[in-house]
């Protein structure tokens, strides 16, 4: 997981270059965004690139990433 994308573990995938909506339920609150499927690994998951996100959602995602990276 990063602020620009993620690898989503799932057995159900969609084709590369598909647009998907992402909803992350995190301790800091829900984070919503749109993503583009960049790579699919059968029976494992897919890599997505976040292409659109509201400022509030991006702020929550950044805050969560910062909290996870602190010792």
In sequence order, which residues have a C-beta less than 8 Å from that of residue 63 and are 6 or more positions away?
Answer: 28
- CA–CA separation, 62 vs 71, rounded Å? 16
DSSP 19-38: EEEEEEEETTEEEEEEEEEE
pLDDT tens per residue across all 71 residues of the chain: 888 899 999 988 899 999 999 999 999 999 999 999 999 998 899 999 999 999 999 999 999 999 988 87
Neighbour count for residue 15 (Cβ, 10 Å): 8
pTM above 0.85, yes or no: no
Strands 29-41 and 19-26: antiparallel
Domain-wise residue ranges, the chain: 5-69
């Amino acid at each position: 997981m990063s602020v620009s994308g993620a690898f989503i573990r799932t057995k159900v995938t969609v084709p590369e270059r598909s647009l998907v909506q992402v909803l992350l339920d995190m301790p800091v609150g829900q984070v919503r965004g749109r993503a583009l499927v960049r790579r699919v690994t059968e029976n494992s998951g897919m890599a997505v690139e976040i292409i659109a996100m509201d400022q509030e959602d991006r702020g929550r995602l950044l805050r969560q990433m910062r909290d996870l990276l602190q010792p």
